[in-house]
Structure 1
Amino acid sequence: MISIRSHAKPLLLALAAGGYGLCGIAHAAPSNTLIVGQSAAVKSLDPATVTSASDYRIDENIYQGLVGFKSGTLTPAPSLATRWTIGDKGLTYTFHLRRGVRFQDGTPFNAQAVKFNFDRMLDKSDPYHDTGPFPLATLFYGDIARIDTPNADTVVFHLKHAYAPFLTNLAYPAGLIVSPAAVKRYGKDYGSHPVGTGPFEFASWQRGREITLTRNPHYWGTPANLDKVIFKPVPNTQTRMAELLSGSIDLMYGVPAESLKLFRGNPRFTIHAQVAPSAWYVMLNQKQKPLHNRLVRQALNYAVNKRAIAEDILKGTAVPANGLMSPAFKATWDSHLAPYAYNPAKARKLLREAGYPHGFSTTFYVPTNGSGMLAPVAMASVIQNDLAQVGVKVKLRTFTWTTYLDKVNPGLKPDVGMAEMAWITNNPFTLPNLTLRTGAWPDKGGFNSGYYSNPEVDTLMAQARRATNPARQAAIYTRLQKIVHNDPPWIFVVNAKQVAVTSSRVQGFKLQPSYFLLLDGVHLK
């Protein structure tokens, strides 16, 4: 790892300057074949069994769910279901299925196929339940009481409790519909032989080297433009960038902020950036004095220069957060809610009002890496310095990601006041449900590791769980954001952008706030 990093910078500079033949890594991309550089090797192509973005980005092109997301949004839209109705006060969802659709193995898609998929995940007595485990099944679909199939084109889900995020959870990769015949044929090895209804079908898998998809000639919708898509795992970020610069790959996600300058202004590449459904924040332990005091938590928000973090540390790959929710949730985000401005004088005033004119000291847990954590140590150092300017002295303690989660997820200890965290979610319900409810304290099975508790928030979250009407949802979440902004559980820091870079020959590519990689509309010039 050290030797690769020590040579990466001169290699990249040479490539950027035009030395594409260096080390012999430049290759002409095959005609009408897109090559995607992935950050990790794929574990399985059974969408119900995995949680990795690298797996999902392939799955979304092989499979489809009953619903998807409208392009560019997180709004549920028809896919294998053409329409649906919600009845019985949110307890019944009836889906009318698209007719004439077949899986890539030629077998029919119908209501029984849908039922098979959810029975496989949720029913421990199902003969194919052993093809799991299914890590998201209970979280996303555990409220399903039973599934009825009155005819081949209709499927009815009966829920135990009203659960408003049910539709968006069906659009998540765990809800993608696999071929029952293929599962029965391959059993536990199904993840190596994926069969769906999507615009591309599985062709081959060279373990650790590449996975190849080809256009599905029998796709029910508009045929894909590409003949072939190759997904190559290139775990080292610097190597992945070198391959993009050389022409060995056409597309990559996750370009480090400081490396985007290699691609800016270069006509051979296009940078794509979009605010993601993410939240990056510093949780505050409200079992520790003085962090139990609302004025103190407000003061810390005014003390931190979030814009400097977004622009100087993250080089514009994030935006300052105005509160709990990401702008990616366009239907529910409160755009009128002003972020906490950088105002050290106001922070000192609030600390005095709270009875801490000379500040206080605490410990700040920081991961050295981790999923969605951006630049955790650099960001923590800026936050530490900003807080020191208002008299708050924090001691940084760093841990590797797995150790960090072991220390934070069970709940912050009494002597730990602060800890960084980041979430990426597919709906506005999940983050506050898992991190802000009193019923989500760690000893109750949630991730409210800072022990935040606000009765109004608890009431609103109970209402949000049952609200299936979009206007009602927006009203609830607008109120929730205002309450949480005034009674902050965290230091709201940034909402990250997802960033991808493509070669200029890639046309029609669009980032999706869901993080899905949808390639059916992509073509090459």
Structure 2
Amino acid sequence: MSLRKKEKHKYQEPIILGIMALMLMVIFIVHLEKKRDKSVFRYGMLTEISLDIHHTRNPEIATIYRHIIEPLYIMDDAGQIIPWLTEDLPKISADGRRYHFTLRPHLSFHDGSQVSSYDVEFVFTRMFHPKYPSINYELFEAIEGSREMLRGEINYLSGFTVIDDLNFVIELDYPFALFLAYLTMPHAGIYARQAYLQEPQAWGEEVLVGSGPYRVAWADKGERIALSRFREYHGDLAVTKQLIFSFYPSIEEVFRAYKQGSIDMMQLPFSYYKKYFRDIEFSHLAFVHRVGYTNILFNQDKPPVSNLLIRQAIAHAVDRDRLNQHIYAGLARPVYHFLPEEIVINKSSHPLLPSHDLVRARELVKQAGYPNGVRIVVQYSEEIMDREVWFELADQLKRANIHLILLEQHSFLWRKELSDGSISMVIGRWIPNIPRLDALLYGVLSSKLNRKWSMNYHNDQVDRWLHEARYTENIRTREGIYRQVEEVAIAKDLALLPILSVPHIFLIQPHISYRPDAHIHLDFTGDLHSEPMDITS
């Protein structure tokens, strides 16, 4: 071998060895990454005030909550109610007001204590605390004594009677056909009374003790919470060993964490999809249409939208197709009714609301007494999506001589004014917790509840229908009542204006096989990864 070849060989050998070592290192890192990914699933979301579902309406918080804390019953995909923490369906009195429940014996909370009737009593009693009621208390206000508790007249829930550790009775003020269905909601989840009483200040931040498939392993206050499989779970053992939910102050940071591979999944706002969709591989995207629509809510106490003619003018001025193309990249679906097609039995192809007609919109503005046009002050949340929708709507409505004066507010201040009933128009998006029309209609159109959405809508006939539907057992009869509600409250009174069915977009790392379905809550108990893993280890 020549000297030159020897020199060349001398330098090639360490280079080849270095490349081989680097390849082995990459293989080893990939192996570790795969191993880690199969034991841990990481979800990213915006920071929330609490993980206690009684203090937030955030569906992502409900997702965390329902992995830890379970209700007495669950609802399957066919809408059937299945006993979960109970022996069977309750024994119901002939008048439909008295429910006798029997818990399954030997059910354990994560702290080792046994699930008892006293825990169930505490959960429902706490909902109606006069100073700190659950924000969703109306779901269970049919329970006898609930309104008296809210008013501070009594300090116990008179409609709840503990018989013994496993038996209890709930009595209602009136027959409520949907009561059992409501007991499948996360808001009716049963948690450990003693665990709450020992650390009430930490509850919902670092402490949550239920009987669900996952228990809280550790929590960095406001930053992350880790859930580990509950080995003594009464049902099927969850597949993934640990779920980590990370909280970020802005969507930008959630998106950055996803791009860096720090999280496996996130919900992607449309504004980010529009901005970055060319840079996102299609394999990372999941689109889901869920029950419930995007609506414009009108404040019946706030001029000029308190004028029906102005609301009708807005209904004619809104161009749903243009809104869909400009804001939602053509992925949404224009809607002209309020009852979701996905959960009604008798579907209707007849549009309930008017289509785009600028000429008619201008005529209505003049008829309302505004020959030179009308101005409407709209406060909106600083959230990007609300801002984009309102700017597009402002551009559309000005063509009908309706001029929106848009004022952006901090989310906290906006929510306060919203619940005070003082905002003139609101973009409202509702997804019912269960696929039942009552869960969508009652909290929105009932006069005693819709003030929190700044609607202030009151129609005595609609209130009577809503109440009647709640104790009507026949599902077709109940739907007929809700059709009447829709005709009056939506088509005639224009309490709100449904505009679009907007899909939810998720970013999911390619090694994750899980895909969300139409349910509002995500279920991470199954196999989340591309290949099956051994769950016995």
TM-score range, shorter chain: 0.7 to 0.9
**What is the TM-score with the length of structure 2 in the denominator?**
0.76
Partner AA of 2:475 in structure 1: P
**Residue 280 of structure 1 aligns to which amino acid in structure 2?**
N
Which consecutive residues of structure 1, in runs of 5 or more, have no partner in the other structure? Answer: 1-20, 22-26, 125-131
Cα offsets for 1:105-134 (capped at 9, x unmatched): 33322434322332344478xxxxxxx945
C-alpha distance in 2 between matches for 1:190 and 1:448: 27
- Taking a change above 3 Å as real, the CA distance of residues 39 and 290 of structure 1, as seen in their structure-2 partners, is closer
Read off the aligned partner of 1:271 and give its amino acid letter: A
Matched, 1:477 2:482: yes
Residue 257, structure 1, aligned to residue 270, structure 2? no
Task: Letter of the 1:119 partner, please give it.
Answer: T
The answer for the alignment partner of 2:314 in structure 1 is: 300
Q: 1:175-219: per-residue Cα shift (whole Å, max 9, x none)? A: 211123433554544543332211112211233442221222221
Residue 447 of structure 2 contacts residue 456 of structure 2 at CA under 8 Å; is this kept in 1? Answer: yes
What pairs with 1:101-120 in structure 2 (closer than 5 Å)?
101-120=107-126
Residue matched to 1:466: 471
Displacement of 1:476 in angstroms is 1.3
Alignment-derived partner of residue 93 in structure 1: 99
Deviation at residue 262 of structure 1 after TM alignment: 5.0
Which of 522, 528, 531 is 1:523 aligned to? 528
Q: Does residue 386 of structure 1 match 2:396?
A: yes
What's 1:8 paired with?
none
| Letter aligned with residue 298 of structure 2 | M
The reply to whether residue 240 of structure 1 matches residue 248 of structure 2 is no
1:231 lines up with 2:263 in the alignment: no
Check the 8 A contact 1:40/1:233 in 2, yes or no. Answer: yes
**Matching residue of 1:280:** 295
Distance apart, 1:137 and its partner CA: 6.3
Partner of 1:428: 437
Q: State the partner residue of 1:219.
A: 233
Secondary structure class of the residue paired with 1:257 = helix
Q: 1:261 to 1:207 in 2, by over 3 A?
A: same
Is residue 178 from structure 1 mapped to residue 188 from structure 2 by the alignment? no
| Contact 1:94 1:157 (C-alpha < 8 Å) held by counterparts | yes
1:507 corresponds to: 513
Secondary structure of the residue that 1:338 maps to in structure 2? coil
Question: Once the 2 structures are TM-superposed, how far is the Cα of residue 233 of structure 1 from its aligned partner?
Answer: 1.6
Partner secondary structure for residue 37 of structure 1: strand
How big is each residue's C-alpha offset from its partner over 1:210-253, in whole Å with a ceiling of 9 and x where there is no partner? Answer: 22212222211121111111112233222322322332211112
- TM-superposed CA distance for 1:473, in Å, is 2.2
What are the Cα deviations for residues 299-332 of structure 1, in whole angstroms up to 9, with x where unaligned?
421221112212321235643332334456x147
Aligned to 2:377: 364
Shift in alpha-carbon separation, 1:343–1:263, aligned structure 2, 3 A: same
TM-score, with normalisation over the residues of structure 1? 0.77
Task: Give 2:231's aligned amino acid.
Answer: P
1:159 to 160, 167, 172: 172
Whole-angstrom distance in 2 between the partners of 1:155 and 1:198: 21
Contact 1:351 1:357 in 2 (8 A): no
The offset of 1:67, in angstroms, is 2.2
SS at match of 2:46: coil
Partner Cα distance (1:167, 1:331) in 2: 19
The match for 1:3 is none
**Within the alignment, does 1:493 sit opposite 2:507 as a pair?**
no
Distance 2:55 2:311 in 1: 40
Q: Tell me which residue corresponds to 2:6.
A: none
Which has the larger share of strand? Answer: 1
What per-residue deviation string (whole Å, max 9, x for no partner) do you get for residues 489-508 of structure 1? 23332344333221122224
RMSD: 3.7
Q: Residues 355-397 of structure 1: CA distance to partner in whole angstroms, max 9, x if unpaired?
A: 7695731213131425xxx622322232223223233344334
Match of 1:338 in 2: 351
Cα separation, partners in 2 of 1:430 and 1:365, compared to 1, 3 Å: farther
Change (3 A) 1:435 1:177: closer
Counterpart among 59, 63, 71 of residue 65 in structure 2 = 59
1:143 paired residue number: 142
Structure 1 stretches of at least 4 aligned residues deviating more than 6 Å after TM superposition: none
Q: Corresponding residue for 2:220?
A: 206
Secondary structure of 1:523's aligned partner: coil
Change (3 A) 1:325 1:359: farther
Contact map agreement 1:364 1:419 (CA 8 A) in 2: no
Q: Given residue 519 of structure 1, which amino acid in structure 2 is its aligned partner? A: F
Report the Cα offset of residue 335 of structure 1. Answer: 4.7
Q: What residue number does 2:147 align with?
A: none
1:147 shift after superposition? 1.8
CA distance in 2, matches of 1:412, 1:56: 28
- The 3 A distance-change label for structure 1 pair 477 and 501 is same
Q: Distance in 1 between matches of 2:355 and 2:294?
A: 19
Distance 1:378 1:234 in 2: 22
- Amino acid corresponding to residue 312 of structure 1 in structure 2: H
- 1:31-50 equivalence runs, <5 A: 31-41=37-47, 44-48=50-54
Q: Secondary structure, in 3 states, of the residue corresponding to 2:375?
A: strand
- The worse-fitting range, judged by mean Cα deviation, of 156-165 and 225-234 is 156-165
CA deviation after TM superposition for structure 1 residue 261, in Å: 1.4
- 1:202–1:457 Cα change, 3 Å: same
Cα 1:352–1:176, aligned 2, differ >3 Å: closer, same or farther?
closer
The residue number in structure 1 matching 2:18 is none
Q: Secondary structure at the match of 2:168?
A: strand
* Aligned mates of 1:397, 1:475 — CA distance in 2: 40
3-state SS of 1:389 partner:
helix
Q: Secondary structure at the match of 2:90?
A: strand
Alignment of 1:440-459 (within 5 A): 446-447=451-452, 449-459=454-464
CA contact (8 A) 1:298 1:347 kept: no
Cα deviation code 1:397-424 (max 9, x no counterpart): 44333443454544458xx6x4544445
Distance 1:240 1:190 in 2: 25
CA distance in 1, matches of 2:454, 2:56: 25
Aligned partner of 1:128 in structure 2 is none
Q: Is the 8 A contact 1:84 1:95 kept in 2?
A: yes
Q: Residue 332 and residue 433 in structure 1: after superposition, are their counterparts in 2 closer, same or farther (change >3 A)?
A: farther
Output the CA distance in 1 between the equivalents of 2:404 and 2:466: 33
- Is the CA contact 1:205–1:211 (under 8 Å) kept in the aligned structure 2? yes
